[in-house]
């Protein structure tokens, strides 16, 4: 084995680009193609629209990244999004100050996330099942609180403007929120022991335990983060619409998971990061915007989206496989069971 260092091996930016290059290439190709074929895309108003469209899913996806890094999944984010929006709307209608109502709505998200985390980490229920159950229950709770009806509220004010629809420094408020959340996510994953522990647990749970990593607490915190970002997305959605709707969650869970996976975070846990997720969310938004611009019907859009997801993940997988086979070749060691000639 030689001592030659790969170029830029130490530089995290280069490394990040190297691990996410598939997403980045697709993204760039898409942007170039747009410039040529759909110049309307580059109208400032449209760009702002894309930014706004990416923000809600993006915020949810950043929190989802934390959970997926541990090898888990959070299906309940859509329901938390709805519940927190409903909670905020109802509290405001009862005369509460917006700031406090927003804070409580966020705490509702954190609390439901902690419950998810306890069910996963302490009761050892598989994350898929645990959050599927809480998704159903939380949706039920949101419907019960509102009797199934949307809760309109007075969303006039700077806070709602920022979170919902307004522009700050020429950028949509929600997009700024997304960027702030993304930067915090990237920093936490990179510079806090908590972030390091997420990767450790996702990659080698047994090694994490033996190394003294507080696995339960870390898992609970991961789901709490996901709950928090989902609730923030709920507050943003409600602020924009002026309504807290118990059905606002929609397919936010699937969109968020898609953004994370397209962004290069493995569903097996242990590898990936929030920067990739930002790209994933933007890519999804650009794609649906493009389809709107060229007049593809919403039904067909879903079909295209499904195909794109498979293609993106397929390409990402091939890149990973290549990295692994390069590694094997270098080592010259016998590989996994898949290399065995028997069977």
Q: Which residues bind other proteins (CB under 8 A)?
A: 1-6, 9-10, 12, 15, 190-193, 195-196, 199-200, 202-204, 206-214, 270-271, 327, 329-337, 339-343
Q: Compute the residue count for the chain.
A: 343
Query: Is the separation of the CB atoms in 293 and 41 below 8 Å?
Result: yes
**HSE (CB half, 13 Å, CA atoms) of 23?**
29
Q: How far is the CB of 312 from other proteins (least distance, A)?
A: 21
Closer residue to other proteins (CB): 172 or 202: 202
CA neighbor of 112 nearest in space, from 194, 201, 192, 229:
229
Pick between residue 138 and residue 261 the one whose CB is nearest to other proteins: 261
- Residue 194 beta carbon to other proteins: minimum distance, rounded to whole angstroms: 9
> 154 vs 325, which CB is nearer to other proteins?
325
Distance (Å, rounded) from C-alpha 338 to C-alpha 27? 33
Which is nearer to other proteins, 147 or 334 (by Cβ)? 334
CB of 208 to other proteins, least distance (A): 7
Picking from 183, 247, 229, 220, the residue whose alpha carbon sits closest to that of residue 63 is 229
Q: Closest approach of Cβ 90 to other proteins, in Å?
A: 38
Question: For other proteins, which is the closer residue by CB, 143 or 267?
Answer: 267
CB of 340 to other proteins, least distance (A): 4
Q: CA angle 218-187-251, nearest 5°?
A: 70
Tell me the C-alpha distance between 225 and 72, whole Å.
Answer: 13
Contact of 135 with 119, CB cutoff 8 Å = no
Give which of 88, 127, 91 is closest to 267, Cα–Cα: 127
Q: How far is the CB of 1 from other proteins (least distance, A)?
A: 5
Tell me whether residue 10 or residue 147 sits nearer to other proteins (CB atom): 10
The residues, ordered by sequence, that sit 6+ positions from 140 with a Cβ below 8 Å of its Cβ are none
- Look at residues 247, 224, 253 and name the one whose alpha carbon lies nearest to residue 107: 224
Looking up tokens 């996901």 gives 226
Nearer to other proteins, 194 or 293 (CB): 194
CB of 220 to other proteins, least distance (A): 16
User: Residue 10: exposed, middle, or buried by beta-carbon count in 10 A (0-12, 13-18, 19+)?
Assistant: exposed
Distance CA 162, CA 30 (A): 30
Whole-number minimum distance, CB 270 to other proteins, in Å? 4
How far the first Cα of the chain sits from its last, in Å, is 33
Rank residues 60 and 275 by Cβ distance to other proteins and give the closer one.
275
């Amino acid at each position: 084995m030689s001592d030659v260092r790969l170029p830029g091996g130490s530089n995290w930016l280069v490394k990040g680009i190297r691990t996410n290059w598939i997403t980045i290439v697709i993204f760039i190709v898409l942007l170039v193609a747009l410039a040529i074929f759909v110049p309307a895309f580059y109208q400032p108003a449209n760009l702002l629209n894309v930014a706004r469209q990416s923000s809600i899913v993006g915020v949810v996806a950043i929190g989802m990244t934390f959970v997926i890094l541990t090898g888990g999944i959070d299906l309940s984010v859509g329901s938390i999004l709805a519940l927190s929006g409903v909670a905020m709307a109802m509290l405001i209608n009862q005369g509460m100050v917006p700031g406090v109502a927003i804070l409580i709505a966020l705490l509702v998200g954190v609390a439901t996330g902690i419950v998810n985390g306890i069910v996963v980490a302490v009761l050892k229920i598989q994350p898929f099942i645990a959050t599927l159950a809480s998704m159903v229950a939380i949706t039920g709770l949101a419907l019960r609180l509102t009797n199934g009806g949307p809760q309109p509220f007075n969303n006039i004010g700077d806070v709602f403007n920022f979170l919902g629809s307004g522009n700050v420094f020429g950028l949509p408020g929600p997009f700024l929120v997304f960027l702030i959340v993304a930067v915090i996510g990237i920093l936490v994953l990179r510079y806090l022991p908590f972030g390091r522990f997420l990767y450790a647990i996702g990659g080698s749970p047994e090694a994490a335990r033996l190394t003294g990593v507080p696995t339960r607490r870390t898992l609970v915190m991961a789901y709490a983060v996901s709950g928090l970002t989902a609730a923030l997305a709920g507050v943003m959605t409600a602020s924009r619409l002026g309504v807290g709707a118990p059905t606002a969650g929609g397919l936010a869970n699937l969109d968020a998971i898609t953004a994370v996976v397209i962004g290069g975070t493995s569903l097996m846990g242990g590898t990936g990061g929030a920067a990739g997720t930002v790209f994933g969310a933007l890519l999804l938004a650009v794609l649906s915007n493009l389809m709107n611009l060229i007049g593809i019907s919403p039904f067909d859009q879903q079909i295209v989206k499904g195909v794109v997801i498979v293609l993106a993940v397929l390409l990402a997988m091939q890149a990973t496989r290549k990295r692994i086979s390069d590694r094997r070749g270098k080592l010259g060691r016998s590989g996994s069971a898949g290399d065995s000639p028997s069977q």
